[in-house]
Amino acid sequence: MINQNKKINKYSFRELRSSCQKNAPNPARESLIGLSSRIFSIYFTKLFLLLKIGPHMITTISVFIFFVGIFIFLFNNYWFNIVGTLIIYLSIILDCCDGEVARFKKQTGVLGGMYTEPVSHDIQYGIAFLLLGIILFFNGYSVIYIILGAIASISKLLYRFLEIRYWYLVHIDKTQEEINEIKKQYNQKHFLIRLFYWLNKNFFSSTAIFTMLFIFSFINRPHWSLWWFAIGYFGLWVLLFLKQVYQINKQNLYEK
């Protein structure tokens, strides 16, 4: 272990960035918060490498830290709310580290990208908003916030499931090379579509939970975040469903 740590210590942070972040998600498709988190993540990644903590354990730690940030809102205090959102940001930083450690160890595979990572986000989406609504109710807010939390969680999960179902419907017969080419076509899409993607990833993605909670906590209105996510996620789900129905009819996919 000592020899392994010496080997890791020989890497400068610049070399680690080159090794661990060069194959990270396309920067054009990442949120601003996601991009900023990579500035700090490499320092935690080196620590995890020295401690020999694997990618799946890092994912578990990041989810745990995320919910610690949500539970901080129980204190119903302005500064505690700000601290809670910063803890959520820390979980976003750690969420980058699992992939960076995997790339350094050359352990990238299907399990992490296709199961562990998305399931961790599903858990966050499925519980966080409802939990926040219950916390607000516990702190004296109306029961409507529990309902808003449920709407936000259910709508976001339904949105993710719709994306998955449609992707496999349309791309089930395509080769990996064809799929990679489709992913590269992002910058060729119409400006309005790219604007929609940008708004979605910055204000309604997993990193947006921090963004909006921080903004509303900063103005001392954390309960507004549930209105934002409940209305936003439900609206996005309806729009995506209508878009997919239109595309299915247009491409005549009924017999596929």
Q: What is the CATH number of the domain that holds 242?
A: 1.20.120.1760
pLDDT score at 180 = 59
Q: In this structure, are residues 59 and 98 in contact, taking their beta carbons and an 8 Å threshold?
A: yes
Q: How much is the pTM?
A: 0.88
Q: Rounded distance, CA 254 to CA 129, Å? A: 36
Phi and psi dihedrals of 158, rounded to 5? -60, -40
Residue 205 lies inside a defined structural domain of this protein = yes
Structure tokens at 20: 């661990």
Residues 188 and 46: beta-carbon distance below 8 Å: no
Q: How big is the chain, counted in residues?
A: 256
pLDDT number for residue 253: 61
| Owning domain of residue 87 | 2-251
Query: Which pLDDT score, from 0 to 100, does residue 181 have?
Result: 63
204: Cβ contacts below 8 Å, ≥ 6 apart = 156, 229, 232, 233, 236
Structural domain total, the chain: 1
- At 170 the pLDDT is 75
CA distance linking residue 200 with residue 32, whole number of Å: 12
Amino acid at 107: Q
Task: Count Cβ atoms within 10 A of the Cβ of residue 42 and give its class: 0-12 exposed, 13-18 middle, 19 or more buried.
Answer: buried
**pLDDT digit string (tens) for 23-76?**
666 655 678 998 899 999 999 999 999 888 999 899 999 999 999 999 999 999
User: Which residues are CB-neighbours of 226 under 8 A, at least 6 positions away?
Assistant: 129, 132, 133, 136, 145, 148, 149, 152
Among candidate residues 72, 199, 213, 87, the one with its CA nearest the CA of residue 149: 213
**What per-residue confidence (pLDDT) applies to 28?**
58
- Is 91 among the domain residues? yes
Q: Is residue 129 part of a domain?
A: yes
Contacts of 229-232 with CB under 8 Å at 24 or more apart are 229/129, 229/148, 229/152, 229/156, 229/204, 230/129, 230/148, 230/149, 230/151, 230/152, 230/155, 232/203, 232/204
Residue 24 located in a structural domain: yes
How far is residue 105's CA from residue 99's CA, in Å, rounded to a whole number? Answer: 10
Per-residue pLDDT, 174:
61
The answer to whether position 256 is within a domain reads no
The answer to the question of residue 145 being in a domain is: yes
Identify whether 67 is part of a domain: yes
Token code pair at residue 185? 């076509």
Nearest to residue 29, comparing CAs of 145, 169, 196, 157?
196
Per-position pLDDT tens, the chain of length 256:
556 666 777 778 888 888 788 766 665 567 899 889 999 999 999 999 988 899 989 999 999 999 999 999 999 999 999 999 999 999 999 999 998 998 888 876 666 666 778 888 889 999 999 999 999 999 999 999 999 999 999 999 999 999 888 877 776 666 656 555 655 665 567 777 778 888 888 999 889 999 999 999 999 999 999 999 999 999 999 999 998 888 888 776 655 5
The whole-number pLDDT of residue 129 equals 96
